[in-house]
Amino acid sequence: MHFPTQSWTFWSAALLATPTTAFISPLRARQADDTAAAFDWTSITPTPDLQYHSCYGTFQCARLRVPLDWSKEPTSHSNANSSFSSSSPGPYAAVAIVTLPATVPVSDPSYAGPILINPGGPGGSGTQMALSLGAVMQGLVDVPGVRHYDVLGFDPRGVALTTPSGSCYENQFDRAVDAMALRGMPTALSEQGVNMRFGANHAAGKLCDENVFKYLSTASVARDMLEIVDRSHELIMKTAGSNSTRKACGGGASGDKPRLQYIGFSYGTIVGNTFASMFPGRVGRMLLDGVADAEDFMSGSKKNNIEDAEPSVDAFYRTCFDAGASCPLRQSSDTSFADIRARVSALQTSLQEASVATVYNNRVYTMTSYLLSEKIRTSLYEPIPKYEPLAIALAEALAGNFSSILADETVMGIDLRSNVCTEPPASDPPQEYNFPYEAARGIICGDSQASAGKRDLAWAADIVARTVNQSSSIGEAWSNIGLACADWSIAPAYAFAGPFGSRAPDNSSNTPAAPLLIMSTKTDHATPLANAYALSRMHGGSAVAVVDAVGHCGLLATKSTCMYGIAQEYFHTGKLPVNGTVCEPDCVPQIPFKACPGLPGA
């Protein structure tokens, strides 16, 4: 079984081109070990206790058995300090886990327990993130000789290696055919386009099995995380004895119960916010970076995502203008970055009025305004590596050559030019993760099902109008995130829609051991800075640290020694910076591309 060791670049490209994966951070990490032997996940039997198996060279893999429906457990989420058991004989989910062990044994005095990580999405694979970035993240949080952490990545429900899978299609061919049909539809800005996209998404939702998708809620993921914490603590106690209890509990224990240590990016901040609101007394250290608005997410309104999109787009054009002749988009007659922007906007308008049929890679493609919007949107996540290729692609498009935009086009997480007709044998868990679109749809639409209201055609037209009004550059692409929930009817069995928030630590058993650390870039097209401050107001005593940069997530968009130091100190002592602290970046985006040494995944 090979797919967990695919490069993160593939995963990020696939997920970002997926209309419903709104927030995922496209980490540019290399494979953990290109020479590592493939690991057969079907060899692991899911167990209610945490049983690790050596895998991928230096990693440990497990499949943790948890109840499929947490609402049927004897104690509800309202009692955060209750003891749960996952040994019930009923239906279960098997949560896939990949852990990079600490660089010291569990018995070492400097061992500090596991930090759980979530890359975002929804639909992002935590196991892949651990393989790709585990060592980088250890380097970020470890204090040599003082504190050493495990880095634990898990696949949320429905995602990647966790089963049951959030897949709606029986084979890859059918998935690809529908993806191509969706891509070729008229612009969402036309009445015909809205009608067709609404109908296609409504029909696609009917392919998803309610008996699986009703169990993919963010609340269920948060409850699974609590189980991972408890079972990890149980294993630590078994391995090293009671002397390891407190130091492996994330800065103290809630009674005799361990606490979560967690880093969540983008949608992972919704997971973290949900956990901290449901189980405040079980939070040890929690760093949330690139903040998505949980209340907005649960309501399905999609109002608080792209308020900073146009300033992000302006930053790209400004970088191009400042680069002079080095930027292929700039012309000698340009007097400001607005001149460059105007030419691209004119192209976008013309594609909205009429798409263009073109030949690429021995096939006929339809170039639409949506594809142009999506190219700009996905490039904004990573300004340092993506500005130059975006400039080249847009310059070529202005000249009538759309090859660079079409070359990296994926739809519904599928590279339409490969593996469509090669279906791997069925297995549990699956051998390939080719359903991120479906998993993301189930999570986004299920979480918002109770409060979104009637998601009919009028609702669809409102989403398109609102997102395009927020951002003329990427609004059309962003509107597809909301449209994916057309007429979605599957309600989660176990849900939490608020209230969100927690009190500042007061030495009681029902508050976090340390206040939350919240991070952001100054200008983020997908999760605006205002969301970070809104989250901070929910959680007493928390603090926001900002890197003065563009891109998605403060720790990932650029390197900032200042931000890295804040993160390390927080996990070591629980100390927070002054709320609103602004850090300078070590690197800025440039055209032509200039590498940023030390940037995660560089």
What pLDDT shows up at residue 100?
98
Is 194's pLDDT higher than 80?
Answer: yes
**Paired strand residues for 47:** 64
Joined together, the tokens standing for residue 139 give 């380097």
> What pLDDT is recorded for position 414?
56
Measure Cα distances from 364 to 158, 347, 357, 358, 546 in Å: 34, 20, 7, 6, 45
Local structure of 500: helix, strand or coil: coil
Distance in angstroms (rounded) separating the CA atoms of residues 571 and 148: 10
Map tokens 């390939």 to a residue: 432
Q: Quick one: how many helices (H) and strands (E) in the chain?
A: 18, 14
Taking only Cα atoms into account, the Rg of the chain, rounded to an integer number of angstroms, comes to 23
Longest dimension (CA), the chain: 73
Look at 15-19, 206-210, 448-452, 562-566 and tell me which has the smallest mean pLDDT: 15-19
Mean pLDDT of 285-308: 94
Q: Which position has the higher pLDDT, 480 or 53?
A: 53
Each residue's pLDDT tens digit, 446-483 = 999 999 999 999 999 999 999 999 999 999 999 998 99
Could you give the percent of the chain with pLDDT greater than 70? 86
Counting every residue written for the chain, the total comes to 602
Which residues, 6+ apart, have CB-to-CB distance to 217 below 8 Å? 157, 443, 446, 447, 492, 493, 494, 495, 496
Domain that holds residue 150: 45-77+84-164+215-258
| φ, ψ (nearest 5 deg) of residue 254 | -95, 95
Mean per-residue pLDDT for 517-538? 98
The verdict on residue 177 lying in a domain is: no
Per-residue pLDDT at 16 exceeds 80: no
Long-range Cβ contact pairs of 173-182 (< 8 A, separation 24 or more): 173/420, 173/421, 173/423, 175/412, 175/414, 175/434, 175/435, 176/414, 176/416, 176/420, 178/204, 178/412, 179/411, 179/412, 179/414, 179/416, 179/437, 180/411, 180/416, 182/411, 182/412
Q: Is the pTM of this model over 0.85?
A: yes
C-alpha distances in angstroms, 32 versus 12, 263, 582, 594?
15, 19, 32, 24
Beta bridge partners of 163: 94
Distance CA 555, CA 140 (A): 10
In a domain, 455, yes or no: no
Does residue 104 form part of some domain?
Answer: yes
Decide which of 26 and 320 is more confident. Answer: 320
CA torsion 432-487-497-50 (nearest 10°) is -20
Residue 5 has pLDDT above 90, yes or no: no
> Per-residue pLDDT for 21 more than 90?
no
Distance of CA 303 to the CA centre of its chain: 18
Instruction: Specify the range with the lowest mean pLDDT, choosing from 50-54, 185-189, 513-517.
Output: 185-189
What are the pLDDT digits (tens) for 83-140? 445 455 579 999 999 999 999 999 999 999 999 999 999 999 999 999 999 999 999 9
DSSP letters spanning 111-142: EEEEEEEE--TTT--HHHHHHHHHHHHHHHH-
pLDDT over threshold 80, residue 253: no
The number of folded domains in the chain is 1
DSSP 65-121: EEES-GGGSSS-TT-TT-------SS-EEEEEEEEE--SS-TTSTTEEEEEEEE--T
Better-predicted residue by pLDDT, 34 or 300: 300
Instruction: Give pLDDT, residue 289.
Output: 98
For the ranges 10-19, 143-152, 575-584, the lowest mean pLDDT is seen at 10-19
Tokens linked to 453: 């209201």
* Domain-embedded: residue 457: no
> Exposed e or buried b for every residue in 411-428, given b needs 16+ CB within 10 A?
bbbbbbeeebeeeeeeee
pLDDT for 254 equals 44
Q: What pLDDT, on a 0 to 100 scale, did the predictor assign at position 357? A: 94
| Token couple for 9 | 């670049």
479-490 mean pLDDT: 94
Within-domain flag for 220: yes
- Does 322 reside within a domain? no
Burial of 281 (0-12, 13-18, 19+ CB in 10 A): buried
For residue 24 the two structure tokens come to 């995922």
Backbone angles phi, psi at 106, to 5 degrees: -60, -30
Instruction: Compute the C-alpha angle 283/549/324, nearest 5°.
Output: 160
Q: Which residue has the higher pLDDT, 84 or 209?
A: 209
Hey, which residues does 356 pair with through a beta bridge? 367
Q: Does the pLDDT value for residue 255 go beyond 60?
A: no
Task: Kindly state whether residue 40 falls inside one of the protein's structural domains.
Answer: no
Look at residue 53 and tell me if it is in a domain. Answer: yes
